[in-house]
């Protein structure tokens, strides 16, 4: 399968749908990926089964506060340097790149890196959504080490982190990201194709592209764009309303805060609160949780059904909110311990979104 410029927009939209409002605003990444595809030709999209067992794959992406990334556009050399440094450190050639998480920017950076490096892109990601911290991944659940990982910044600095576990990798890499200027380009989770086959969520890149295509190509007379988008991702309607408050701060390399919405149409008189730490993590309808992590929360533009990253939510904007079931692995005991509501400080049991509000259980 080939990924070229024509599929890039669909991938950007679909990946942002699956990124739970995070993984970085795709806009900057899309510009970078398009430029690289034009200069270096299309990228081959491969399954892990297409790779030899011992071929080395690394995840390429951005770490830090998404808002800063919009202001400080990477020149692209950073991620190439990160991947090359990691390969050199490991003393082994990198044979393919992949997304550590599906999400706006972090689905575009690997396309860019693959094009620049002349490597295939693996049709999979290591999270099945986006999460704000490195160790919150299906790699971690399956015992794949995030390190050695390589980080690079716009100044030309490179850092290699070799941590004892993935939580320490997150702590160290987060601090380094802050000192790199709140944004770093990262190559992480080096592993062989054989190790990755059971450890990652397969097919998410292809699926994201299909979701994007479905949203783009649906005739508007058949259904409202939000309905088309919701159906394309198998999601549930949560709310429709207007943003009346956004509180957002950039701290320790995260963009953290919440947005409050007042309902319109069927939701008139109700109020929704969306919490985010880069990604949307919980939605409360009139103070009761209706969706929590690890299920996905996506804000959509009612005009065209495209996703609005948490970073781009603005006062006064009209927004539809949908929820999407997370990959099954996140509903395991290990998955919920790692990234369930309590892992983010919510004193509530996880309830799968398709079974109704968490707060009723």
Give the binding range for a copy of itself (CB under 8 A) out of 59-67, 68-76, 150-158, 333-341. 150-158
Token pair of 294, please?
A: 């690890």
The 3-state DSSP class for residue 193 equals: helix
Closer of 10 and 78 to a copy of itself (Cβ): 78
Site for a copy of itself in 169-198 (CB under 8 A): 171-172, 174-176, 178-180
How deeply is 160 buried, as exposed, middle or buried, from its count of CB atoms within 10 A (0-12, 13-18, 19+)? middle
> Would you count residue 107 as binding a copy of itself (CB under 8 A)?
no
> Would you count residue 158 as binding a copy of itself (CB under 8 A)?
yes
CA pair distance 51, 38, nearest whole angstrom: 25
Per DSSP (E only), the strands in 220-317 are 236-251, 254-263, 271-277, 279-285, 288-292, 296-300
Closer of 20 and 140 to a copy of itself (Cβ): 140
Among 113, 141, 161, 193, binds a copy of itself (CB under 8 A): 161
> Would you count residue 168 as binding a copy of itself (CB under 8 A)?
yes
Among 162, 198, 286, 303, binds a copy of itself (CB under 8 A): 162
Closer of 88 and 262 to a copy of itself (Cβ): 88
> Would you count residue 221 as binding a copy of itself (CB under 8 A)?
no
Distances from the Cα of 165 to the Cα of 148, 162, 188, 203, 352, angstroms: 10, 9, 13, 27, 29
Query: What is the closest distance, in whole angstroms, from the C-beta atom of residue 58 to a copy of itself in the complex?
Result: 16
How deeply is 73 buried, as exposed, middle or buried, from its count of CB atoms within 10 A (0-12, 13-18, 19+)? middle
Give the binding range for a copy of itself (CB under 8 A) out of 106-114, 149-157, 185-193, 221-229. 149-157
Distances from the Cα of 257 to the Cα of 6, 119, 249, 280, angstroms: 35, 37, 6, 10
CA pair distance 259, 63, nearest whole angstrom: 23
Give the binding range for a copy of itself (CB under 8 A) out of 109-117, 122-130, 152-160, 243-251. 152-160
Query: What is the closest distance, in whole angstroms, from the C-beta atom of residue 228 to a copy of itself in the complex?
Result: 45
Closer of 157 and 227 to a copy of itself (Cβ): 157
Closer of 254 and 289 to a copy of itself (Cβ): 254
How would you label 80-96 residue by residue, b for 16+ Cβ within 10 Å and e otherwise?
bbbbbbbbebeeeebbb
Closer of 38 and 252 to a copy of itself (Cβ): 252
Query: What is the closest distance, in whole angstroms, from the C-beta atom of residue 86 to a copy of itself in the complex?
Result: 11
CA pair distance 355, 325, nearest whole angstrom: 10
With contacts defined by CB under 8 A, how many residues of the chain interact with a copy of itself?
21
Closer of 160 and 317 to a copy of itself (Cβ): 160
Q: Are the C-beta atoms of residues 32 and 76 closer than 8 Å to each other?
A: yes
Closer of 85 and 127 to a copy of itself (Cβ): 85
> Would you count residue 249 as binding a copy of itself (CB under 8 A)?
no
CA pair distance 137, 66, nearest whole angstrom: 19
> Would you count residue 83 as binding a copy of itself (CB under 8 A)?
no
How deeply is 69 buried, as exposed, middle or buried, from its count of CB atoms within 10 A (0-12, 13-18, 19+)? buried
Binding site for a copy of itself (CB under 8 A): 85, 89, 155-164, 168, 171-172, 174-176, 178-180
């Amino acid at each position: 399968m080939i990924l070229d410029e024509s599929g890039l927009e669909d991938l950007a939209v679909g990946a942002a749908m699956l990124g739970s409002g995070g993984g970085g605003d795709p806009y900057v990444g899309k510009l970078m990926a398009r430029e690289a595809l034009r200069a270096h030709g299309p990228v081959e999209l491969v399954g892990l089964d297409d790779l030899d067992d011992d071929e080395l794959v690394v995840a390429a992406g951005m770490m830090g506060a998404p808002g800063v990334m919009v202001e400080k556009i990477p020149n692209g050399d950073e991620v190439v340097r990160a991947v090359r440094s990691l390969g050199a450190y490991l003393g082994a050639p990198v044979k393919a790149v992949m997304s550590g998480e599906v999400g706006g920017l972090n689905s575009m950076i690997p396309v860019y890196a693959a094009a620049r490096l002349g490597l295939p892109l693996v049709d999979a990601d290591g999270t099945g959504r986006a999460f704000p911290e490195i160790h919150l991944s299906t790699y971690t659940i399956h015992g794949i080490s995030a390190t050695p990982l390589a980080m690079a910044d716009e100044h030309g600095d490179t850092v290699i982190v070799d941590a004892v576990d993935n939580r320490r990798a997150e702590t160290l890499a987060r601090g380094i990201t802050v000192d790199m200027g709140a944004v770093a380009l990262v190559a992480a989770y080096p592993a062989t194709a054989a190790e990755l086959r059971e450890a990652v969520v397969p097919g998410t890149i292809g699926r994201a592209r299909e979701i994007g295509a479905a949203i783009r190509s649906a005739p508007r007379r058949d259904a409202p764009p939000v309905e088309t988008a919701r159906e394309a991702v198998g999601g549930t309607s949560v709310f429709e309303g207007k943003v009346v408050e956004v509180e957002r701060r950039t701290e320790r390399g995260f963009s953290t805060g919440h947005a409050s919405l007042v309902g319109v149409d069927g939701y008139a008189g109700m109020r929704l609160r969306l919490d985010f730490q880069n990604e949307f993590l919980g939605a409360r309808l009139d103070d009761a949780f209706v969706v929590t992590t690890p299920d996905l929360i996506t804000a959509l533009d009612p005009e065209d059904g495209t996703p609005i990253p948490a970073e781009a939510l603005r006062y006064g904007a009209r927004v539809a909110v949908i929820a999407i079931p997370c990959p099954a692995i996140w509903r395991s005991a290990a998955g919920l311990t790692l990234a369930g509501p309590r892992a983010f400080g919510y004193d509530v049991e996880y309830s799968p979104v398709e079974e109704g509000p968490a707060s009723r259980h």
